[in-house]
């Protein structure tokens, strides 16, 4: 039964990645139809991100009340309905309206599924599941591209992805009894009882300030902020850096920048096997070393255009184990009973990093120089490394006291 549920979760991660990159691929057509400036895509994206932050912060309370299985089903259903709403939108304000439940659903399922896997499955599955998310995120633009080039429209692309999400919702609903079974020797969150993991009375939900008061929590939250800020900044600004600073053509730079995400996806497939030998902290350190090497290679003033390309791939390979292993290590650092609350706040912190770090570098590139791109990534990485080592020290002191 545990393997059957794991298969459902794998399918869920693929499907959940499908809509994530679709807005960007469809927007060049959408903004003309809605007769709005091209920059308005940022408004839709920010509404979605705000919703994910809100639902992530509420994930502990909701999971205690409803259980991980039901939260996942409800969240995916909200996403499916929102995508369907996108496909029928005829004015820009309708997109903004449907972006609200879209963001709320995306954040809820992200926090619930990541915590469930962290509690009940080995670290390799966390890496492979996030690899599956990458496959879904890569497939979404292809579906939209097929709709746009095949005589259909962007609304049909959204409608097809909504249908896939509806199918996933049905699959998760049918799998709800599996969420009640024991997995890998753990007692999971019941799909509807809200029982605690130790079989005792239901614990009190932890709020944001409760989480911040936990020793080591601030360090891991800053780690998530830094990681997502680094990843999104790399993905957004790598092509511009290569064009404006290294003299690469725009078409070549766009193709090369995509190799960063290829490195992330392929690296997660590989890191799943590596976790069979190395624990989560070691995998995080390996990832951080690779990111540092990649940033240094990007910054090298010699080697022509090859160096940025190699550096981006290496950064992607370094990002690959870092994020999944950070999530998977959370129950070990803070306990199973507090992991849902902390992972929820971690997701919110990650979204804040995604929202703030790329635009901040945009201001730096505009007012100072885009040549600071590698330095900017390096500063974020140094802060992330410092927070990880501080988290390790806090955890070691806690072990000594016990």
CATH number at residue 133: 1.20.1250.20
Domain that holds residue 111: 2-180
Query: Are 230 and 275 in the same domain?
Result: yes
Measured CA to CA, the distance from residue 213 to residue 341 in angstroms comes to: 12
Q: Would you call 190 exposed, middle or buried from its count of C-beta atoms within 10 A (0-12, 13-18, 19+)?
A: middle
Query: Are 317 and 386 in the same domain?
Result: yes
pTM for the whole thing? 0.81
Query: Are 159 and 216 in the same domain?
Result: no
Task: Note whether 159 and 84 are within 8 A (CB).
Answer: yes
Length of the chain, please?
402
CA distances from 340 to 35, 57, 64, 105, 285 (A): 42, 10, 9, 16, 24
Task: Note whether 294 and 318 are within 8 A (CB).
Answer: yes
Residues 6+ apart with CB under 8 A from 90: none
Query: Are 162 and 228 in the same domain?
Result: no
pLDDT tens-digit profile, the chain (402 residues)? 567 888 888 888 888 788 877 887 788 889 889 998 877 887 888 898 889 889 888 888 888 888 888 999 999 999 999 999 999 999 999 999 999 999 999 888 888 888 888 888 888 999 998 888 888 877 888 888 889 888 899 999 999 999 999 999 999 999 999 887 544 444 333 333 333 343 344 567 788 888 899 999 999 999 999 999 999 888 878 888 888 888 877 777 777 777 888 888 899 999 999 999 999 999 999 999 999 999 999 998 876 778 888 999 999 999 999 999 999 999 999 988 888 889 999 999 998 998 888 888 888 988 899 899 999 999 999 999 999 999 999 988 876 665
Query: Are 370 and 250 in the same domain?
Result: yes
User: Which residue, among 285, 292, 238, 289, has the nearest Cα to 261 in the 3D structure?
Assistant: 238
Query: Are 176 and 214 in the same domain?
Result: no
Asked if residue 320 belongs to a domain, the reply is: yes
Give the total number of structural domains in the chain: 2
């Amino acid at each position: 039964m545990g393997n059957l549920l794991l298969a459902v979760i794998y399918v869920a991660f693929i499907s959940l990645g499908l809509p994530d990159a679709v807005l960007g691929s469809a927007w060049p057509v959408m903004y003309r139809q809605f007769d709005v400036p091209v920059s308005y895509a940022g408004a839709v994206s920010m509404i979605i991100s705000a919703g994910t932050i809100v639902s992530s912060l509420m994930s502990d309370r909701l999971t205690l009340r409803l259980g991980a299985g039901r939260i996942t089903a409800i969240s995916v259903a909200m996403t499916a309905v929102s995508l369907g709403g996108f496909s029928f939108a005829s004015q820009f304000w309708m997109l903004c309206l449907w972006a609200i439940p879209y963001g709320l659903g995306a954040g809820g399922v992200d926090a619930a599924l990541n915590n469930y896997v962290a509690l009940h499955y080995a670290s390799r599955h966390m890496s492979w599941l996030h690899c599956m998310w990458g496959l879904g995120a890569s497939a979404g633009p292809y579906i939209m591209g097929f709709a746009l080039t095949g005589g259909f429209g962007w609304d049909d692309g959204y409608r097809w992805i909504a249908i896939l999400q509806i199918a996933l919702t049905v699959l998760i609903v049918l799998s709800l009894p599996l969420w009640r079974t024991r997995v890998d020797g753990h007692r999971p969150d019941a799909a509807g009882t809200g029982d605690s993991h130790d079989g005792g009375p239901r614990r009190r939900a932890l709020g944001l300030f409760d989480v911040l008061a936990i020793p080591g929590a601030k360090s891991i939250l800053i780690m998530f902020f830094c990681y997502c800020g680094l990843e999104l900044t790399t993905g957004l600004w790598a092509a511009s850096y290569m064009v404006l600073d290294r003299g690469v053509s725009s078409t070549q730079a766009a193709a090369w920048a995509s190799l960063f995400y290829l490195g992330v996806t392929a690296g997660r497939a590989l890191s799943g096997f590596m976790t069979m030998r190395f624990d989560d902290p070691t995998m995080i350190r390996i990832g951080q070393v690779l990111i540092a090497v990649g940033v240094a290679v990007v910054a090298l003033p010699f080697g022509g255009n090859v160096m940025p390309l190699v550096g981006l791939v290496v950064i992607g390979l370094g990002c690959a184990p870092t994020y999944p292993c950070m999530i998977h290590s959370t129950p070990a650092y803070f306990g199973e009973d507090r992991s849902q609350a902390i992972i929820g706040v971690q997701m919110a912190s990650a979204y804040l990093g995604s929202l703030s770090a790329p635009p901040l570098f945009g201001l730096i590139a505009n007012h100072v120089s885009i040549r600071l791109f590698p330095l900017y990534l390096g500063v974020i990485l140094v802060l992330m490394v410092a927070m990880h080592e501080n988290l390790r020290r806090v955890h070691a002191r806690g072990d000594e006291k016990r």
